[in-house]
Amino acid sequence: MQSLYIIKIGGNVIDNSESLHKFLEDFTALKGYKILVHGGGKVATQLSETLGIEAKLVDGRRITDIETLRVVTMVYGGLINKNIVAQLQRYGSNAIGLTGADGNLIKAKKRPIKTIDYGFVGDLDDNSVNANGISSLLEAGFTPVFSALTHDGDGQLLNTNADTIASALAVAMSGLYSTTLIYCFEKKGVLQDIDDEDSLIRDINPERYDELKAAGIIHSGMLPKLDNAFSAIDFGVQAVIIGHANDLNKLNDEASFGTRLSK
């Protein structure tokens, strides 16, 4: 199988023009098939505020009402996505900007109302990703760039977490490609000591993961991230790497980029 990188960047990269440009240049230099998934950033929040749309939170969870969905469709699907595509084209990457509605590539289900109505939020399942459709774009020479939007197949766009999209893409594509999922964030990776960027843990397998949890080194916010990563690996993803967006250039010699999670 040919190899495929699926790389997710979040708002912290998007909001910093210098970081974003360096990242996009490094992304372009990566050899082989690749897919970029990007989250939002401050622009959506700023636009909502300017338009007088109040952020709706229920039990601390953000609600996507119809006005907020319009804003994220404009900002994620339009402004951010198309500017990333234009920059990638400048650097020489044949980017094509997508939502899950495009080519019916990612179909979600509106989150059912239990105690909270999350509004226009889409959840993914095992059949959400159209791997053959995405593969046909890769084989035709395009580099897909996904914003965090999906659709329900019945005409409704939905807001879907970018981490979740990246993970679902990786699992689905691992049937066709030897797939590595990369989460870029603002740390070098999983740190032995959170205050010491030099204490990077290079490799974690499930046994080591259990040890690190038992020792209290991995806890709270990192737990769901790593649980999801190991779950993706169980479902066929070759490795999940967590590293700093500014260091992506080190990926071509894999030994020196981030923390690598694998079996």
40 is in an annotated binding site: yes
Q: Could you say which of 16, 89, 246, 249 contacts its own copies (CB under 8 A)?
A: 89
- Residue 225 exposed, middle or buried by CB count within 10 Å (0-12, 13-18, 19+): middle
How far apart CA 145 and CA 130 sit, in angstroms, is 15
CB 30 within 8 A of CB 249: no
Q: Contact between 53 and its own copies (CB under 8 A)?
A: no
Among the candidate windows 145-153, 233-241, 243-251, 254-262, which touches its own copies by CB under 8 A? 145-153
Tokens of 160: 């879907």
62 is in an annotated binding site: yes
Closer residue to its own copies, CB minimum distance, 153 or 206: 153
CB 95 within 8 A of CB 36: yes
Closer residue to its own copies, CB minimum distance, 51 or 194: 51
Tokens of 24: 């996009």
How far apart CA 38 and CA 111 sit, in angstroms, is 21
What are the distances in angstroms from CA 142 to CA 1, 5, 134, 136?
A: 18, 14, 9, 9
Q: Could you say which of 30, 63, 74, 176 contacts its own copies (CB under 8 A)?
A: 74
Contact code string over 93-112 relative to its own copies, x by CB under 8 A: -xxxxxx-xxxx--------
159 is in an annotated binding site: yes
What are the distances in angstroms from CA 43 to CA 74, 78, 84, 241, 243?
A: 10, 12, 14, 27, 24
Q: Contact between 82 and its own copies (CB under 8 A)?
A: yes
Closer residue to its own copies, CB minimum distance, 149 or 242: 149
Among the candidate windows 31-39, 140-148, 180-188, 205-213, which touches its own copies by CB under 8 A? 140-148
Q: Could you say which of 2, 136, 192, 231 contacts its own copies (CB under 8 A)?
A: 136
Closer residue to its own copies, CB minimum distance, 95 or 212: 95
Q: Which amino acid is at 114?
A: K
Cα angle at 123 between 262 and 72, to 5 degrees? Answer: 105
Contact residues for 150 (Cβ-Cβ < 8 A; gap 6+): 99, 100, 101, 106, 107, 108, 122, 124, 128, 157, 158, 160, 165
Among the candidate windows 78-86, 159-167, 229-237, 239-247, which touches its own copies by CB under 8 A? 78-86
Query: Minimum distance between the CB of residue 125 and its own copies, rounded to whole angstroms?
Result: 18
Binding-site annotation: residue ranges = 40-41, 62, 159
Binding site for its own copies (CB under 8 A): 50-51, 70, 73-79, 81-83, 85-87, 89-90, 94-99, 101-104, 136-137, 140-142, 149, 151, 153-157
Binding-site annotation: residue ranges for substrate = 40-41, 62, 159
